Structure 1
Amino acid sequence: MNAATHTPAVKSPATVPTQPNRMREFFGSRDGVIATATLVAIALFLILRFAVGLEGFAASWPLVVIVIGGGIPLGIDVVKSAIATRGGADTLAAVSIIASVLLGEWLVAAIVVLMLSGGEALEEAASKRASATLDALARRAPQIAHRRNPDGTTADIAIEEVRIGDELVVLPHELCPVDGEVISGHGAMDESFLTGEPYVVSKSEGSQVISGAINADDALVIRATALAEDSRYASIVGVLREAETNRPEMRRLADRLGAWYTVLALTMGAIGWIISGDPTRFLAVVVIATPCPLLIGVPVAIIGAINLAARRGIIIKNPGILEAVSRVDTVMFDKTGTLTYGRPVITHFQTTGGLDEDYALALAAAVERYSRHPLATAIVEEADARGVDKLTVDSISEKPGQGLTGVVDGLEVKLTSRKALADSSFLPQDQAGMESVMLLDGEFAAFIQFRDEPRRSAADFIAHLGKKHGTTETMIISGDRASEAEYLAEKVGIKTVHAGVSPEGKLELVREHNKRGKTLFLGDGINDAPAMATATVGVAFGAGSDVTMEAADAVVLDSSLERLDNLIHIGARMRRIALQTAIGGMALSFIGMVLAVFGLLTPLMGAIAQEVIDVLAILNAARVPFTKKKLSDF
């Protein structure tokens, strides 16, 4: 959490993305080209057959060309899919095309090619719609950097050419190109796009800066501490890009349903052929049985859920969790920033050696204004509330694990932990809460204690999980001391507490409970990443850690328990509508198969009927993101 002034966010002209062209996405894909060419071939056949009056191959050659030219690449994809899924949902489509060709039903074969290629193209285009946030991030990414040469001049270089140690000039209102450290200048940067916090963070010599942040009105000189591909912005883009490569669990369910459905359809087709002696009965059955509700409907439902979640500030990194999130048995919470606000307040401020408390607080606040640590906010807010003087910082340095050091009013001010003291025996022991030690010119000067209070809605939310979502157990798994974790558990109504747990310990606890049922782990720190990655559903609160975001299946950007409830309801809605689409579509197809077995449905009629079923399936699945319901009952 940033210690920041409430300055309005700086707007950059580079942050307004253009909307992707959905039609171009459809027609620009391979499957889109095949679908378009198939439509043209069918139209040309109809003209040659009915307008010109040609018959036989003279009229059907466009269909032959498109079935062979388009059917071969589609057939290869079907074979690969069948091998990967042990006979997936699209196997029947391939059987339909082959049977149509063998029986000379080129128009039927072309219509099936149109169904298969059109469905794949629609799914691909819809997937690109789901990645609109990723597209916007990619377009917004820094492209150039101003490298300062030894002679003091600057040269524009591509972002990929930046090397660690390079001195870069960040001009007013520009995006910071890479992660780095300020070596010259005083100013501020808007990190809200990256952190979700709508404030501008002060920057001075020694301050850390992150790529993608928007500089304010003053130029800063930074030293690159990471390459572009390793910087914060690239990490966020990578996390979102990974979401597109995860195959959803519901699609695997569709493949399993499709495997059984394929056996049923082929069996009924064979029966129709046997009882009639007419192979066109077999073709009619497999054509009407082509399981496009599975091929198209389920992915459309998943994509709709991803969009619905995104509108509520939830990034779905692994779509597979949408099927499981509404059916978890155990919910595990890290303590700080999840059930609490992650905004500690000062409960005790003790100085030594006659040091004036307000002056000591002013010194601490001056340094902490440059920190992103949660305790920094508490110190700054306390200083502002007391109205103490705002002192100027001459230099600042923050090294991982060593605390924050700055020069203020001619004094070296260091905020760190009790571990930095050679002798800490005189400090209060075994106190609940968090603490910080202030040193002036290397000598102990003040001891500060904090407490992070529970969210107002935390107790109601814990009770709500069991009553409305069937959760059987909730627990706190925290690295904090037992006294602090137990204090929180009592406040929110949780009986199971694991305190002082290391990241490895959290991982083992998750593995243990995974054996008993589905688990959800909610955290916001790097030490939560292993447990989060192992749980059935891992949810990260906020975007404060790249490692945490990578480990999580979903990221709740605004750190709200109501948003977590939204995610559970979105998952339940997606699963319900996806199953409606799949089972309903197959039921309608089954009715058509029965009619085809008894010769009441020709192959061409079956192909047309299947198109109608496809439209109904798509329309039903597409309603996932469109709801007037609040999507939260807590």
Structure 2
Amino acid sequence: MASKTEAKQATPTWKSLETLIAGFAIAMITLHLVLRFGTSSAPTIVALPLWGVLVLGGIPLVWDLLLKMFRREFGSDLLAGISIVTSALLEEYLAGSLVVLMLSGGEALEAYAVRSASSVLRALSQRMPSVAHRKRGAEVEDIALDELAIDDIVAVFPHEICPIDGTVIEGHGVMDESYLTGEPYMMSKTPGSAVLSGAINGESALIIRAEKLAVDSRYAKIMEVMEASETQKPKMRRLADKLGAWYTPLAVAIGVAAWIATGNPVRFLAVMVVATPCPLLIGIPVAIIGSISLAARRAIIVRDPSSLEMADTCRTLIFDKTGTLTYGEPKLVQRICADQSRDQEILGIVGSLERFSKHPLAQAIVAAASEAKLAPHSVSEINEPPGQGLRGIVSGRNIEVTSRKKLLAQQPELLNQLPPQAGGLECVILVDDVYAATYQFRDTPRRDGASFIKHLGPRHSIRRTMMVSGDRESEVRYLAEQVGIEDVSFSQSPEQKLDIVNAETAKANSIFVGDGINDAPALMAATVGIAFGQNSDVTTEAADVVVLDSSLQKIDEFLHISRRMRRIALQSAIGGMALSIVGMMLAAAGYLSPVAGAICQEVIDVAAVLNALRVALPPKSMIDFEPSESEH
């Protein structure tokens, strides 16, 4: 923990030093020009401000570059160090001072660009309330946000910002969630509706039950992104280092060739000055940080910035089943009654009882009874021992909801009365100890699943889609047919999932999408692991990317953000390098002096950074697929 703290403290200190160096360089270069053109001072006096820049500014920068060389970090910024040393040796002090200004000023420019790219997140951080109104009985007290506990009752007054993630238990109104979801709509809120921290309440007060601690809320997760995006820059330079691997030796070769051909070492210096690779050093990190900001605004948390670089290169997409291609919410799809004429009667009775159950299937039965507009019955003597089913008295009748296995263990003679077992889940219902019905459930495929899978190849160059699940074969194949995936693996343990992902990633870069604890190993093994972050902290910790809104559209948005980031970053880097190479050729031919080359490079730097900043501006649309008519 101490090392992390020290690292965080060291970075701002060095950034502040470079900003001071840049300011000092500007002041001394200005003084030099005044002495040179505005007075008749001796050459030694005229050069004195430049010596100060090279000594007080150049030495710390060159020393930092030497330390990188000792660590075998041969980055493209090595060219700047060569330029500073060469200018001092050739007594081209103004050119050397301009390179010091470029290198130190580039860092200051990057810091400014990062602040601009993260401006939306910073605005969010300033909006969050520091207190919450906790309600206990009839009293409401203001407490610090971090004192809120799960299940606390919180009042959100009109026009206030919601301080915590939770569920509405009293009140009806609307909330503006556009800061968090990007959708410009007022979202209706009634008892049972989920609310997000950071949303702005409407005209009506709402009473909510806290479901997460403040540190685990949606708002807190977005704030973590802002902090992480400012401390992970070394990881974000891999693309720059790949480009710099050929750019640096090319620049040195052009400079050496110009020196040898003309016998003039100043030509070498001019080439090195023009070659200073600020588009690589600044443009690419700015593009990545801007993309992290844009993703966070779309409820997509990028935990590992390298995933933005890699996602567009992936050619295999592997899905877990439950909660990714399905909603993770079983639906009652079949009601098979011993006496079918009693279907509505039994559904009303069972639905009334299941209102008091926390079993995953209970909500599906309650929803079916509600859709059928069946009036609830009076319920008493509820009993639900863990793993033993649900019992209760509904309107004077004994009702039991149990499993096929438990029923046949007690009453094997009922085997012939039960329907054949189908894929998915089921429960058996007894009324007054007499078999009454079998209810069958399926986890509903996502409405947009088929069109999403279909568009992956043409739009994102995904050559292979797979489904890997721990569920039974019948359930997995049923879903695969619904969404159009042919390559399926079923009844897979976490270890088997891991083996499959490792094997596929060895063939081609892969993306794995999951949402359960058992998906964590596979998420870590894939080139890019994407987690739907509603269910498990373990899963989100293992993932490179966390989608806070469980939606296939968010995966599509992330893929587009990744592609757009690579395109704009490469535009800034390669465009800047191309212009620099043209400048190097002119310098090698003697058309650019070292000073003119430094000014030329500054213009290229500004253009590259301004282009990179475009990435934080949201395009009109980041989704390029639509659910088919059959999916509506």
* Superposition TM-score tier, normalisation by shorter sequence: 0.7 to 0.9
Q: Which runs of 5+ in 2 are unaligned?
A: 1-11, 626-632
Residue 286 of structure 1: how far off its partner (Å): 0.9
In structure 1, what is the equivalent of residue 370 of structure 2?
384
In structure 2, what is the equivalent of residue 609 of structure 1?
600
Three-state SS of the structure 2 residue aligned to 1:89 is coil
Question: Structure 1 residue 500 and structure 2 residue 491: aligned?
Answer: yes
Q: Distance in 2 between matches of 1:349 and 1:378?
A: 12
Question: Structure 1 residue 325 and structure 2 residue 316: aligned?
Answer: no
In structure 2, what is the equivalent of residue 125 of structure 1?
112
What is the one-letter code of the residue matched to 1:289?
A
In structure 2, what is the equivalent of residue 357 of structure 1?
346
In structure 2, what is the equivalent of residue 597 of structure 1?
588
Q: Distance in 2 between matches of 1:397 and 1:307?
A: 50
Cα distance 1:405–1:62, how it changes in 2: closer, same or farther (>3 A)? farther
Q: Quick check: 1:180–1:226 contact (8 Å CA) kept in 2? A: yes
Residue 535 of structure 1: how far off its partner (Å): 0.8
| Worse overlay, 313-322 or 388-397 | 388-397
Cα distance 1:391–1:449, how it changes in 2: closer, same or farther (>3 A)? same
Three-state SS of the structure 2 residue aligned to 1:323 is helix
In structure 1, what is the equivalent of residue 475 of structure 2?
484
What is the one-letter code of the residue matched to 2:289?
I
Q: Quick check: 2:349–2:376 contact (8 Å CA) kept in 1? A: no
In structure 2, what is the equivalent of residue 13 of structure 1?
none
What is the one-letter code of the residue matched to 2:519?
D
| Worse overlay, 506-515 or 409-418 | 409-418
Question: Structure 1 residue 78 and structure 2 residue 65: aligned?
Answer: yes
Three-state SS of the structure 2 residue aligned to 1:338 is coil
Residue 147 of structure 1: how far off its partner (Å): 9.0
Residue 399 of structure 1: how far off its partner (Å): 12
Three-state SS of the structure 1 residue aligned to 2:279 is helix
Cα distance 1:611–1:252, how it changes in 2: closer, same or farther (>3 A)? same
Per-residue displacement from partner, 1:395-446 (whole Å, max 9, x unpaired)?
A: 9999999999999999999999879989487676742223467899999998
Three-state SS of the structure 1 residue aligned to 2:575 is helix
Residue 307 of structure 1: how far off its partner (Å): 4.3
1:265 to 246, 251, 255: 251
| Worse overlay, 591-600 or 387-396 | 387-396
Question: Structure 1 residue 251 and structure 2 residue 237: aligned?
Answer: yes
Residue 333 of structure 1: how far off its partner (Å): 1.3
TM-score by length of 2: 0.75
In structure 2, what is the equivalent of residue 18 of structure 1?
none
Question: Structure 1 residue 286 and structure 2 residue 277: aligned?
Answer: no
| Worse overlay, 527-536 or 574-583 | 574-583
In structure 1, what is the equivalent of residue 78 of structure 2?
91
Q: Quick check: 1:329–1:470 contact (8 Å CA) kept in 2? A: yes
1:159-198 mapped onto 2 (5 Å cutoff): 170-173=154-157
What is the one-letter code of the residue matched to 1:548?
T
In structure 2, what is the equivalent of residue 104 of structure 1?
91
Three-state SS of the structure 2 residue aligned to 1:302 is helix
Q: Distance in 2 between matches of 1:217 and 1:398?
A: 36
Q: Distance in 2 between matches of 1:212 and 1:392?
A: 40
Cα distance 1:145–1:79, how it changes in 2: closer, same or farther (>3 A)? farther
Residue 607 of structure 1: how far off its partner (Å): 0.5
Q: Quick check: 1:520–1:535 contact (8 Å CA) kept in 2? A: yes
Q: Which runs of 5+ in 1 are unaligned?
A: 1-24
Per-residue displacement from partner, 1:371-398 (whole Å, max 9, x unpaired)?
A: 7x97565344323322234689999999
Q: Distance in 1 between matches of 2:499 and 2:129?
A: 40
What is the one-letter code of the residue matched to 2:107?
E
Residue 180 of structure 1: how far off its partner (Å): 10
Per-residue displacement from partner, 1:210-243 (whole Å, max 9, x unpaired)?
A: 9889999576898xx9976577865665466445
Q: Distance in 1 between matches of 2:23 and 2:406?
A: 70
Q: Quick check: 1:60–1:106 contact (8 Å CA) kept in 2? A: yes
Q: Distance in 1 between matches of 2:435 and 2:198?
A: 38
In the alignment of these two chains, the number of paired residues is 596
| Worse overlay, 566-575 or 422-431 | 422-431
Q: Quick check: 2:180–2:297 contact (8 Å CA) kept in 1? A: no
| Worse overlay, 135-144 or 581-590 | 135-144
2:523 to 526, 532, 536: 532
Q: Distance in 1 between matches of 2:571 and 2:113?
A: 20
2:510 to 519, 524, 527: 519
Cα distance 1:219–1:491, how it changes in 2: closer, same or farther (>3 A)? closer
Three-state SS of the structure 2 residue aligned to 1:480 is coil
| Worse overlay, 275-284 or 244-253 | 244-253
Residue 518 of structure 1: how far off its partner (Å): 0.7
Q: Quick check: 1:346–1:451 contact (8 Å CA) kept in 2? A: yes
Structural RMSD (CA): 5.1
TM-score by length of 1: 0.75
Q: Quick check: 1:119–1:292 contact (8 Å CA) kept in 2? A: yes
Cα distance 1:557–1:178, how it changes in 2: closer, same or farther (>3 A)? closer
Question: Structure 1 residue 465 and structure 2 residue 456: aligned?
Answer: yes
Q: Quick check: 2:84–2:100 contact (8 Å CA) kept in 1? A: yes
Q: Distance in 2 between matches of 1:54 and 1:506?
A: 77
Residue 144 of structure 1: how far off its partner (Å): 4.9
Q: Quick check: 1:405–1:413 contact (8 Å CA) kept in 2? A: yes
2:43 to 51, 56, 61: 56
| Worse overlay, 419-428 or 62-71 | 419-428
In structure 1, what is the equivalent of residue 630 of structure 2?
none
Cα distance 1:161–1:307, how it changes in 2: closer, same or farther (>3 A)? closer
| Worse overlay, 576-585 or 374-383 | 374-383
Q: Quick check: 1:301–1:624 contact (8 Å CA) kept in 2? A: yes
Q: Distance in 1 between matches of 2:329 and 2:519?
A: 18
Residue 516 of structure 1: how far off its partner (Å): 0.9
Cα distance 1:178–1:300, how it changes in 2: closer, same or farther (>3 A)? closer
Q: Distance in 2 between matches of 1:85 and 1:440?
A: 77
Residue 549 of structure 1: how far off its partner (Å): 2.9
Q: Quick check: 1:309–1:570 contact (8 Å CA) kept in 2? A: yes
What is the one-letter code of the residue matched to 2:601?
Q
Q: Distance in 1 between matches of 2:452 and 2:581?
A: 44
Cα distance 1:143–1:304, how it changes in 2: closer, same or farther (>3 A)? closer
Residue 506 of structure 1: how far off its partner (Å): 1.7
Residue 335 of structure 1: how far off its partner (Å): 1.7
Residue 510 of structure 1: how far off its partner (Å): 0.7
Q: Quick check: 1:543–1:557 contact (8 Å CA) kept in 2? A: yes
Residue 93 of structure 1: how far off its partner (Å): 1.1
Residue 332 of structure 1: how far off its partner (Å): 0.8
Per-residue displacement from partner, 1:539-559 (whole Å, max 9, x unpaired)?
A: 234644433333332334444
Q: What is the aligned-residue identity percentage? A: 49
